[in-house]
Structure formats: structure tokens, C-alpha cells
Structure 1
Amino acid sequence: MTSHSDAPTTPTTPTAEAAVGAFATEAEALRADLVAVRRELHAAVEIGLDLPRTQEILLRELDGLGLEITRGASLSSVTAVLRGGRPGPVVLLRGDMDGLPIAEATGLPFAATSGAMHACGHDLHMAGVLGAVRLLAARRDELPGTVVFMFQPGEEGQAGGRVMIEEGVLDAAGERPVAAYAIHVDSATPQGQLVTREGPMMASANALRMTLHGTGGHAAFPQLGIDPVPVAAQLILAVQTFAARRLPATDQAVISITRLSSDSEASNVLAAAVHLEANIRTLSMATLDTVRDQLPALLAGIAEANGCRLETEFIASYPVTYNDPAETREVLAVLAELVGIDRVTRLAAPSMASEDFSYVLQEVPGALVFVGAAPSSGPMPLHSERAVFDDAVLPLQASVLAELAWRRLARGGQSA
């Protein structure tokens, strides 16, 4: 990382024993650097899979640290491998890179002006992982294994994590990681609070696209045609009640109509077709299978009963983000030791939002942890044009990631 201060950034006693628990102090020495690069990344936000400016900043910050660096072939990803001086397994740390197509309205001096925005905190994610790189690289000789740093574009709906896996990120070190960790900031959680849970952490996200065909006609004579619009209203009501009547009350699912349009372009013309899309959030494959099998059949029956024809297409997207229970219990114990049990929360129920770190966790046991980054002005929702994150949390992010990687490497190949 380009130095932005004269603070020392290397330990005075580089021993394996000194590393355990010492990263927090060393991360504080990086605070000014981490904040500076986070704000640079925030202002230079890009969206999707092609993030050339973001990639350029990351490569600059990683230069000179003795890493094996690979760029993505079909996306602007960065994979950096740090090989320790002592034998041991491989651990992966992930930081996502992309922003959202939202015009920023925070009024921050480093606000983005391009019409895109880091409204989900990915700028902090990158800076936090960069901090972990610095902390671990400073102790390379004592590092008991190898760390793969995964900087991933396209988290916001483009499945960049899946693409990086297809391009070989999990094999970048020559052997598969024994564990993978990621931290996600939350602007609605008190600053410095760490939150995670065993098992399902976040929901899967899928979609059902529908085209409802009628016949169209003159708005003055609806009896002469088949108007699909009122039938679409029935479909919407059926979607909204499906989870409540087809799934157990203990089985969480959220199904929402998110898109609705017709092909009519005049107020006196009945539509011949209506296009709808439902967003489907579930926490298990069994529930998703029920929705995928039964919901289209139900809706097609309603359409047919009204003289219409329904075409459906199921769009698979992010799977459930599943925290390995054994690994997560170890993570919870480490977090409690580092920051105190009062700052660690075991989430009672999963979030119905989704995360494409789920693709990594399908292949490698590990955990996603949320860290509170609410500003002093009060909680802010993610994905808002006014979302503000307190970047004072960056040293905590960096030190927790470094600590989790070190502790897992120190355990060797044994499972948690």
C-alpha cells in the first residue's frame, strides 16, 4: 500500500507467538493509509465486472509486497497469493470491488460523481483486505501457510465470485483452501459490532420471469378480446400469498413482484401481453425446489382459467450463503477473544439479502462476518444514495481478517 503516513508498519518482534493477538495494534499504525485508499476507491467507483480503475489502484497497493498476482481473464479481478515461510495449508480472504448504479447524495468530500456509488461498502471491503495483506506480509517468515487474497468484481448481481472460481481462484496457490473468510460492513449496525451465525447466513436469490399472453383489443370493447392486465393482478396476488399458504410457517421465504409492464403504448389499447418478474429469496434448496416446481404451475392454472397463456422462465442466481458451523464456532471464539463478548453477536436468524461469497462457501468451509460501520449521525440503510460508512472501522476489519487467517493456518489441515 502506498504510504500516507510516517507511522511504523512492521512489527519489532516478528515471531509467530507475537503475531497472535498483535494485529490490532499493528493495524492501528495503518489507519491513515487504509482510510486514504478507501476514500480513493470510493471516489473511483465502477460497476459490474469491468473495473479497470479499481483494479489499477489495487495493483498499485499490492506492488512490492512479494505476492504472486494474477489478473482475471474475463473480468477485472485480482488474485494475490502470499506464501508464508513456514509450511501449512491455504486460507482465502475475499474482498468485493464493485459499486452500484446509484447517484451518490451523501455530500461527502470524497463522494463519487460518476452516477455510480459504493453504497454497499465494497470500498471498505477492499481497504480492509489490503490492510490484512500488509499485516500478514510483514510476518511472512513466520506465516504458517499460504493466504490467497480474492479481490472480486461483479458481486452486485453479476456473479463475479462464480466467474473467479471458474477461472481458478480456488486453485491459485496450487492447493485448495481449507477455509475462506470475508467481512461485510453494515451501515445500520453500531460501529465495531461483529455479527455472524452458524449455518444459513444469507438467502439465495433467484427470479421467475413471466409473460402473460392475452389478445389485446380496443379499450372500449374489452368483451371482444382477452385483457391480460386484470389476470396479471390475480397472478400478483397469488405470488404474494404463495409463501404463506404453500410453505411451512417455520420455513422462511420472501417472494416479491419486482417488475411489471405491458406492451400497450396507448391509453385506449388493451395490452396483448404483460411482463412480470418475481424475486425469490429462500434459505434452503428444499424450499427453493418447492417454489420452483409449484409456483409456475399455480400461476399457469390461473392464466388458463382466464383464457390467457403464461410463459415462465426460472433464472437461477446466488445460492444460500452458508457458514460452516464448525468453522463459524471457531470464528466466534476468536472474535470474542479479540474484541470482547459484548461486541460479538450471534445472529438469531439469517438475512434475506444475498451474497455471492456463497459460491466460495459452497466449495470451501468458512464464514461471512458483518461488522458495524454506522456513522455517528445514525444508522443508514445499505444501497441508499445517502449510505455513509464510518471508515474508522478499517483497522478492525484488517486485524480481524489477518487474525482469522493466521489462527486457521496455525491449526493446520485439521478441521475445526
Structure 2
Amino acid sequence: MMLRRLIHQNPELAFEEHNTQKLIIEFAHGLGLNNIVTVGTGVLVLVGRNKDEPFVVLRAELDALPIPEETDYPFRSKNENMHACGHDFHIAAACWAMRRIVQEKRKGNFLFVFQPAEESGAGAKTIVEHILRWDCEVKAAIAMHVADEYPMGIVASRSGSLFSASCEVNVRVLGRSAHVANHQLGKDALRGCVAFLNQIYGRDWKEDLVWFGRILAGHVRNTVAGEALIEGTVRASDSKGVQDILVALQEIAKKVEEETELKVSVIPGAEYPEVKVDEKLLDVLRVVSQRNGFEFIECERKLTAEDFGYFSKHFPSLMFWFGVRHGSRVEGLHSSKFLPPDELIPVAGNLLTHLLDSIG
């Protein structure tokens, strides 16, 4: 628990997790572990035989968020950042499991991955690329995420897509600027944005999502906007669904061009693959959870994106929610008051230990 408190007091943003990395390496060395690899600010700790044999991966994230903390925790953040997504808890629970596996000499080959930049930099992509260069077999990749959406004692997951595939998308509209007094000489890019968005929000995207949250257009109030940019995101159950939506957006753009004589371009950006839960690994989770006094429930797919999808793209994977709510109040992830209690760290750590033991 002391490790959690130190990390919680000194939260570091994506790719800046230098002190967090140092604390984890010191913890691993304290267990007599020396097979440690650093990847940027990330840490990979191999526990078991050697990396040439199949192993099970356990992922925990390192980065915090630029959110000032508003809890009464005695070990609250000392800076303007906060572990408002529970990553400090994930690290502590993973280290608890690591210690048990080492001290109890449990059989298996395990790779503990402490990954930077989950929140904003797709840090998983770099870590996975590093693992793939080893040219070794991964039996399974596992990740846990705390949530006060669920009460203590609940473990939740589902087979198939748990977190959505996502893609950032920009739409650029080019027209011709003119003074409003001579607006007939211009081509209004802002009007093209309205036409495009009306098409978007007038369509039923079923269980998927297309959303635009920002518009940049024109320069001053008394001119026709000569250009505009709409920034948004696409969410779907899998990467194919994302590509299908991008094709649909291109078709909408072409239709708006024909109607308005504007130039409308759809520009895809950063893309995250979906987090896919392997059905066999889910069965193991269900059995291990119930055997250790947890209630397992099937949950719905989230529209949020998670870069653990880079793991599930390449390896059989399992990700699950670990309930941390006490009482009825829900703060929610990324809240300045979100704080999973210390006393649940050994509970989560023991669950991870049994899960690794059962798979490894």
C-alpha cells in the first residue's frame, strides 16, 4: 500500500512517468528480480523461466491526468495532476500479485507490463511492438480496471468487444471568403459544416457513435467563412465497423459537395483497435472470481476507447472491471474525487494472483 501512496502523491502525465518507473524498478529489485527491461518510461518485469518460453502478460498503466485532486485522502496529490482513473491502484495490485508469485514460488512464466501513456499517447502500441520483436509466444494478456460503477465484490466483463474501436476524424470544408455585404460572392464553409452535421445527426448509427465536438470557422464576424474544420470521433464495435463509418462519412461529404459547391474532405486521425475478450479466458475469470468470493456479471460494451486493444489485436486477451464502490455514491472515472480505497489493493492483488496462476 505504501507504493500506491507514493505514486498517488506524485502523479505523472503520459511519457513523463520517470519517478513512477523508478519506484517500480526498486520494488522489483527488492524481490530479487533482475530481468527488467525499460521501454521509454515503461517497465517490463519478467518473472519465471525466460522470455523464450510462453508467458502470460499482466498490464498496468502508469500515467495520471491533468486534474487537480479534490479528495480528503491523507496521501493526496502534491501537484496539479491526479490518478483520477485508478492507475495507481492498478500498479499496486499488480505489484501485490508479483510479490506473491515470487515469494510463493508459483509456477509459470509471467511478464508484468507497467505501461506509460494510456490516457493520451497509445503507450500500449510501443510496448506491444517491443514484445513482438522478442518473437516469443504470449499465452494471454490480462488487464484489470477499477470502476465505482460497480460495488465492491463485483467483477464484470463480456466476451467479444469490451471497449470500442475508435478513430479521431476531422472534416475540412473549403469555400470562398467575402464580406457579408457581398455574401453572394462567397461560398460559406460554415454553412457546409451545418449541412454535414445535419446529415450526421439525422442518421441512426445503431450501437455505434459518430460525434463532433469542435468547430473552427472563419476569422471575423462580418465575413463569409472561407474555410472551416470540424473535429470529432468515431466509435464502433470493431475496427471494420470504424472503417465502414469512415466510408459513410466520405459519402456524406460528397453529397454535401454536390449540394453546396464546397470542397469537403474527411481526414481520419489516430485509431485505437477494440478491446476483444477471449471467450476461454473469460470462462477462467468467471470460475476464479466465483471461487474467491466475487460475483461475476456480464456487462455491456463501452463506447470509451482503451489502448489495451493493441494487446488484444495480437494476443488472446482478457480485460475486466473490478468494482470499488462503497455505498451508493458514484464519482466516476476521471473525477477529481475518484479514489478506490487502499484496503481493496490486496483483494484485487490476490484475485490477479489466482488468475495468473490459473492461466499460467
- Per the alignment, residue 378 of structure 1 pairs with 329
Select which of 29, 48, 52 maps to 1:83: 48
Displacement of 1:88 in angstroms is 7.7
Residue type matched to 1:323 in 2?
Answer: V
Displacement of 1:403 in angstroms is 0.7
- Per the alignment, residue 317 of structure 2 pairs with 366
Q: Number of matched residues?
A: 358
- Per the alignment, residue 357 of structure 1 pairs with 308
Displacement of 1:96 in angstroms is 0.7
Q: Mapping of 1:151-190 within 5 angstroms?
A: 151-168=114-131, 175-190=136-151
CA change 1:113–1:375 in 2 (3 A) is: farther
- Per the alignment, residue 159 of structure 2 pairs with 198
In the aligned structure 2, how far is the partner of 1:95 from the partner of 1:376? 26
Higher strand share: 2
Q: Which moved more, 1:233-242 or 1:43-52?
A: 233-242
- Per the alignment, residue 5 of structure 1 pairs with none
- Per the alignment, residue 272 of structure 2 pairs with 318
SS in 1 for 2:339: coil
CA change 1:192–1:38 in 2 (3 A) is: farther
Listed one character per residue, the Cα deviations across residues 170-190 of structure 1 (whole Å, up to 9, x for unaligned) are: 566x73221121110012221
Aligned-pair Cα RMSD in Å? 2.1
2:166 touches 2:242 (CA, 8 Å); kept in 1? no
Residue type matched to 1:345 in 2?
Answer: I
Residue type matched to 1:155 in 2?
Answer: E
2:253 touches 2:265 (CA, 8 Å); kept in 1? no
SS in 2 for 1:237: helix
1:192 touches 1:393 (CA, 8 Å); kept in 2? no
Displacement of 1:162 in angstroms is 0.8
- Per the alignment, residue 215 of structure 2 pairs with 260
Listed one character per residue, the Cα deviations across residues 292-337 of structure 1 (whole Å, up to 9, x for unaligned) are: 2121221232134212111221124211100011111121111111
2:14 touches 2:64 (CA, 8 Å); kept in 1? yes
Listed one character per residue, the Cα deviations across residues 247-306 of structure 1 (whole Å, up to 9, x for unaligned) are: 5x4xx2011102211241x32233221111121110023322211212122123213421
Q: Mapping of 1:34-49 within 5 angstroms?
A: 34=1, 36-49=2-15
In the aligned structure 2, how far is the partner of 1:115 from the partner of 1:275? 32
In the aligned structure 2, how far is the partner of 1:61 from the partner of 1:292? 46
SS in 2 for 1:258: strand
Residue type matched to 1:269 in 2?
Answer: T
Q: Mapping of 1:6-405 within 5 angstroms?
A: 34=1, 36-67=2-33, 68-72=35-39, 75-83=40-48, 89-140=54-105, 143-168=106-131, 175-242=136-203, 244=204, 249=206, 252-264=207-219, 266-340=220-294, 343-347=295-299, 349-376=300-327, 378-405=329-356
2:169 touches 2:269 (CA, 8 Å); kept in 1? yes
CA change 1:59–1:229 in 2 (3 A) is: same
Q: Name the TM-score, length of structure 1 as normaliser.
A: 0.81
1:42 touches 1:123 (CA, 8 Å); kept in 2? yes
Residue type matched to 1:346 in 2?
Answer: E
CA change 1:221–1:42 in 2 (3 A) is: farther
CA change 1:219–1:106 in 2 (3 A) is: farther
2:17 touches 2:63 (CA, 8 Å); kept in 1? yes
In the aligned structure 1, how far is the partner of 2:296 from the partner of 2:316? 21
Residue type matched to 2:282 in 1?
Answer: T
In the aligned structure 2, how far is the partner of 1:216 from the partner of 1:374? 55
In the aligned structure 1, how far is the partner of 2:326 from the partner of 2:13? 24
In the aligned structure 2, how far is the partner of 1:292 from the partner of 1:111? 43
Residue type matched to 1:399 in 2?
Answer: N
Displacement of 1:192 in angstroms is 2.9
In the aligned structure 1, how far is the partner of 2:233 from the partner of 2:214? 9
CA change 1:268–1:104 in 2 (3 A) is: farther
In the aligned structure 2, how far is the partner of 1:43 from the partner of 1:237? 46
Listed one character per residue, the Cα deviations across residues 27-52 of structure 1 (whole Å, up to 9, x for unaligned) are: xxxxxxx2x22122112111112311
Q: Which moved more, 1:380-389 or 1:320-329?
A: 380-389
In the aligned structure 1, how far is the partner of 2:237 from the partner of 2:79? 36
SS in 1 for 2:171: strand
Q: Which runs of 5+ in 2 are unaligned?
A: none
2:149 touches 2:323 (CA, 8 Å); kept in 1? yes
Q: Name the TM-score, length of structure 2 as normaliser.
A: 0.93
- Give the share of equivalent positions with the same residue, in percent: 25
